[in-house]
Amino acid sequence: MGLIFFPIFVKIHKMEKRSTHWADVLNWLQTVVDSCSTQEHALTCERLIRNFHRMYEKQVGYKEVWDLTRDMEMKLWKIGDWKLKDKIKML
């Protein structure tokens, strides 16, 4: 019996390798967060945001970094909360 191959098409957001400026990284991070649709995506984006904080807190400032990423974190929390409500309904 032959193998059946199902191609999976995934949109991958690649960060430009030459750009390490915090604003460019923040714009890339925003596009990644906007494309989140599952809880697994949200968890990965939370790790990306934590890495952004670690890399740019000293350069930009602690409070400013948290202010810049607050809206992205709120969106991720809504995704996680929405999935949790679905699981509760199934019980």
> For residue 9, is it within any domain?
no
Tell me if the pTM is above 0.75: no
Identify the domain containing residue 55 by its residue range: 36-81
> For residue 17, is it within any domain?
no
CB-neighbour burial class of residue 57 (10 A; exposed 0-12, middle 13-18, buried 19+): middle
> For residue 21, is it within any domain?
no
> For residue 19, is it within any domain?
no
> For residue 87, is it within any domain?
no
4-54 pLDDT tens trace: 544 444 455 565 566 778 888 899 899 988 888 877 888 888 899 999 999
For residues 40 and 28, give the distance between their C-alpha atoms in angstroms, rounded to a whole number. Answer: 19
How many structural domains comprise the chain?
Answer: 1
For residues 33 and 85, give the distance between their C-alpha atoms in angstroms, rounded to a whole number. Answer: 21
